[in-house]
Chain A
C-alpha cells in the first residue's frame, strides 16, 4: 500500500480536477493532493486516494464523487483508500493555497511556524479578511479536523486556519 510519488495519467486529470472537496467546495481534490494515483487498466480507471485525517468524513463522499464524475464521461472508476505515505499539507498545490485564502481559510504555514502560531507564541497567521497578522488562536480545533479557529484583533472577524500536517 506504499505509494511514494503521485502517478496520474494525463488524460484522466481534467475529470479528477472537476471533483471538489465537499467541505471546501472551491478546492479541487487535485489541488488538495489527496489523489495519489489514477491509471486506466483494461477500460477501468483505478484511483487511489488518501485521507487528510483518519476520521475525515469527506473521504467516502470524495470516492463517490470521483466514481460519478467518471461515469458521466462513460468510464468505470474503482476507488482504493491508501494510508501510506501519510498525507501532508505540503501536497496542497500553490493554486490550492490561493483558493483556500480566497475562500477565507488561512493556508498552512511551515511546520515550525505552525507550532509557534498554535502555541500562541507568535502572531503570524494572516487574517483572510483584512490581511492583518494581529490575530490570535481561539481553538486548536475548528469546524473540521483539518482546521483551527482564529480571530483577528484588527477587524475582529473570526476565520479558519488550515493546520499544518507533516
Chain B
C-alpha cells in the first residue's frame, strides 16, 4: 500500500474504533450506577467488550503509521476533540435507563450489520477483528432489543419514557451511514463496508423490534451530523476531560 492509502486505512480504523471507544466510555460511567445490579453488570460488560475491540483496532492503526509516538494509548487518550471521528449518537448522555437502552439499540443494530460485512474485508486483520467482535455484538443486540421490547410493552410509564428516548435519538441514526473520503477510498478497495448498502436492512431490523415493542416509529426527517468530520456535540468535551484526565495529568502513566 502507498503512504496515502495507509493514511486512509488509518483514518478508517479510527472511524470504526472511536464509535466503540466513546460508547464504551459512556457505558463505563454507569459502573456502580446502573438501575439494578444485573443491568449495571450487563452495561459494563458491554463496555468491556467494546474497549477490547477498540484495542484491536488501535493496535493495528498504530502499527501501520510510521510514527513511533503513535500508540494505542496515544490514540485513545491524547487526541483533541476534532480528531475523534465517532458519530454523534454514541456521545449522547445516559440521561436515564430508557435513553441508555435506546442509544445502545440504535448502535447495536448498526454495529452488527457493519461487522457482518466487515468479515468479508480484503484486509485480513480487519476481517479477523470483525469475526471476533460479531460474536460479542450479537449478545449486545440481544440485550438491547430485549430491553426495548420490555420497556415498550411494559407499563404506561416505561412505554412513554422509552418512546421519548427513541424519538429524541432517532435523528442521530442517519449519520451512522455517512461516508467520509477515507471511507469511500476503503470501500473502493474492498477493505471497507459500504454503509449505504446496509441502510435498508438496518431500518428494517430496528423497525421490527420497535413494532413488537408497541412503539411508534418516529417520523422526523431531520438528521444530526458532524461527528464523522470531527464536529461534535457539546457533550464530547466533558467525555474527553473525564477520559483523558489521567494521561494529561500524569503523562505516560501506566497501570
List residues of A whose CB falls within 8 A of some B CB: 1-2, 51, 53-57, 83-87, 118-119, 138-143, 145, 149, 163, 165-166
Contacts and interface: CB of A to CB of B under 8 A. Distances in A.
A142 B135 CA distance: 16
A1 B55 contact: no
A2 B143 contact: no
A84 B42 contact: no
11 contacts: A1-B125, A2-B124, A51-B52, A54-B53, A55-B52, A83-B128, A84-B131, A86-B131, A140-B42, A142-B45, A166-B135
B38 A139 contact: yes
A142 B132 contact: no
B45 A141 contact: yes
B234 to A, nearest CB: 29
Interface of B: 38-39, 41-42, 45-46, 48-53, 55-56, 124-125, 127-129, 131-133, 135-136, 139, 142-143
Given A1-B125, A55-B51, A149-B38, A86 B139 contact: no
Contacts of A163: 139
Nearest to A87: B132
* Max chain B Cβ within 10 angstroms of own Cβ: one of A86, A87, A119, A165: A86
B49 A54 contact: yes
Contacts of A145: 45, 48-49, 136
A140 B136 contact: no
Given A2-B124, A139-B38, A53 B56 contact: no
Contacts of A86: 128, 131-132, 135
Contacts of B49: 53-55, 145
Given A55-B50, A141-B41, A142-B45, 14 more contacts: A1-B124, A1-B128, A2-B124, A2-B128, A51-B52, A53-B49, A55-B52, A84-B124, A84-B131, A85-B131, A86-B131, A138-B38, A141-B38, A145-B48
Given A53-B136, A54-B55, A165-B135, A83 B143 contact: no
B139 A140 contact: yes
* Max chain B Cβ within 10 angstroms of own Cβ: one of A2, A83, A87, A143: A83
Contacts of B128: 1-2, 83-84, 86
B58 to A, nearest CB: 12
A162 B154 CA distance: 29
Contact of B133 (A54, A138, A139, A142): A54
A55 B48 contact: yes
A55 B53 contact: yes
Contacts of B38: 138-139, 141, 149
B255 to A, nearest CB: 10
A64 B48 CA distance: 21
* Max chain B Cβ within 10 angstroms of own Cβ: one of A53, A55, A166: A55
Given A84-B132, A86-B131, A149-B38, A53 B125 contact: no
Nearest to B39: A139
A56 B55 CA distance: 11
A3 to B, nearest CB: 10
B52 A54 contact: yes
B174 to A, nearest CB: 28
Nearest to B47: A55
A56 B50 CA distance: 11
Contacts of A141: 38, 41-42, 45-46, 139, 143
